[in-house]
Amino acid sequence: MTDIAPTTRTRVLAALREQRIETPSWAYGNSGTRFKVFRQEGVPRDPYEKIADAATVHRFTGVAPTVALHIPWDRVDDYAVLAAYAKEQGVGLGTINANVFQDDDYRLGSVTNPDPAVRRKAIGHLLECVDIMDATGSRDLKLWFSDGTNYPGQDSIRQRQDRLTAALREAYGRLTGDQRLLLEYKLFEPAFYMTDVPDWGTAYAHCVELGERAQVVIDTGHHAPGTNVEFIVAFLLRAGRLGGFDFNSRFYADDDLMVGAANPFELFRVMHEIVGADALRPTYGIAFMLDQCHNIEPKVEAVIRSVLNVQEATAKALLVDVEALAAAQRSGDVLGANAVLMDAYNTDVRPLLRDLRTEMGLDPDPVGAYRRSGYLEKVRAERVGGEQAGWGA
């Protein structure tokens, strides 16, 4: 594809202007591996400063207007005050992420723990998260369970599924209005033998059992190597059960690197399925979130880069000549169909995106503009003392 036809250009720009990507509060905090957390200067000390960073990403990209919170990392006394601060900064509070993986009590699991008292505590936390959603006006409760076992025989796989069902039912029953429960799966880690929600099929089955407002979240780093992620996207879209994404990229397992860094072609294929189902528009309801940890690189800039990577993959997906693709598919032209897709993927969309940003009143080069803005130097000078908020805190 060399030139983009004017009508295509108008359609693509309109879709990109509407796109919404949610950034995670924890991406702005310190994080690391189990070997070391490298602390950075200027990193947020509280949820307010994380929101200020998220607002900075939105200011330079124009497509990241909400920030996901993680409880208790982002616990505050008054969520209305936090929401008002976010609004003042130009962003909104998004998905509420529950955290039932950090306490000593959860050594043998949270909602699937053999001890009913621990299960009660974990369920209590899920319900507290819905209270917080009521206060913040958030639509989605995102649940990821680290629950599982490390050794065959350690616990009953079936009974753990029963406990999971009971907990999910209680959390789901607490939702009101248009609130949704998003269930995330992960193949392994921290559990190494058996994870209670290891794959999309398990998450899907639980969601179907719960009801329509239970939806699956695909974290792009949570599969076995070689898994066809776009197949999962297509299946869940068809079933009306794709609630959202945790975008990040992986070379090996749950690496949480910048989305589009390891496998931009996979990201394009995922976005091709989304665009093909007309599911990109915010009214469709999919939460396009990032779930990343920036261990050694500067955080705000890494999130800006990630947002741009999603935008680039989306622009390419929007450029797929759907009529030519359908014609090639109908006539069994295997290579022709593949060429249509590759043509779109190989288009350099950066000039188009620069034009989009200029039209939106933004600097065409968000990373350069951020670097020139002096934001990092400013927060480095301001954010001294106090406990830095994040994984390491």
The nearest distance, CB 134 to ligand AOS, in angstroms, is 21
215 is an interface residue for ligand AOS by CB under 6 A:
no
273 is an interface residue for Zn ion by CB under 5 A:
no
Residue 97, binding choice from Zn ion, ligand AOS, none, Cβ under 5 to 8 Å by partner class: ligand AOS
12, amino acid identity: V
**Residue nearest ligand AOS, CB atom distance:** 144
219 is an interface residue for ligand AOS by CB under 6 A:
yes
Nearest alpha-carbon partner for 14 in 364, 289, 360: 360
8 A C-beta contact, residue 242 and residue 236: yes
Contacts with ligand AOS: how many residues (CB under 6 A)? 10
The nearest distance, CB 169 to ligand AOS, in angstroms, is 21
Question: Does the N-terminal peptide bond of residue 264 adopt cis geometry, omega within 30 degrees of 0?
Answer: no
8 A C-beta contact, residue 295 and residue 32: yes
**Residue nearest Zn ion, CB atom distance:** 246
200 is an interface residue for ligand AOS by CB under 6 A:
no
What is the contact mask toward ligand AOS in residues 156 to 195, using x (rule: CB under 6 A)? ----------------------------x-x---------
The nearest distance, CB 210 to ligand AOS, in angstroms, is 19
246 is an interface residue for Zn ion by CB under 5 A:
yes
List CB contacts of 75: < 8 A, sequence separation 6 or more.
47
In this complex, which beta carbon is closest to ligand AOS, that of residue 19 or of residue 97? Answer: 97
Footprint (CB under 6 A) of ligand AOS, residues 92-111: 97
Residue 388, binding choice from Zn ion, ligand AOS, none, Cβ under 5 to 8 Å by partner class: none
- Taking only Cα atoms into account, the Rg of the chain, rounded to an integer number of angstroms, comes to 21
Residue 311, binding choice from Zn ion, ligand AOS, none, Cβ under 5 to 8 Å by partner class: none
140 is an interface residue for Zn ion by CB under 5 A:
no
Segment lying near Zn ion (by CB under 5 A), choices 64-72, 245-253, 270-278, 373-381: 245-253
Residue 370, binding choice from Zn ion, ligand AOS, none, Cβ under 5 to 8 Å by partner class: none
246 is an interface residue for ligand AOS by CB under 6 A:
yes
Q: Tell me how far apart the alpha carbons of residues 354 and 365 are, in angstroms, rounded to a whole number.
A: 7
Burial of residue 162 (number of CB atoms within 10 Å: 0-12, 13-18, 19+): exposed
The nearest distance, CB 61 to Zn ion, in angstroms, is 21
In this complex, which beta carbon is closest to Zn ion, that of residue 62 or of residue 221? Answer: 221
In this complex, which beta carbon is closest to Zn ion, that of residue 256 or of residue 363? Answer: 256
In this complex, which beta carbon is closest to Zn ion, that of residue 22 or of residue 254? Answer: 254
Task: Identify the residue among 22, 254, 266, 363 touching ligand AOS (CB under 6 A).
Answer: 254
Residue 266, binding choice from Zn ion, ligand AOS, none, Cβ under 5 to 8 Å by partner class: none
382, amino acid identity: E
What is the contact mask toward ligand AOS in residues 66 to 85, using x (rule: CB under 6 A)? ----x---------------
348, amino acid identity: D
Residue 204, binding choice from ligand AOS, Zn ion, none, Cβ under 5 to 8 Å by partner class: none
Q: Tell me how far apart the alpha carbons of residues 221 and 225 are, in angstroms, rounded to a whole number.
A: 9
In this complex, which beta carbon is closest to ligand AOS, that of residue 289 or of residue 376? Answer: 289
> What does the binding site for ligand AOS look like in residue numbers (CB under 6 A)?
26, 70, 97, 144, 184, 186, 219, 246, 254, 291
Residues in contact with Zn ion by the rule CB under 5 A: 219, 246, 254, 291
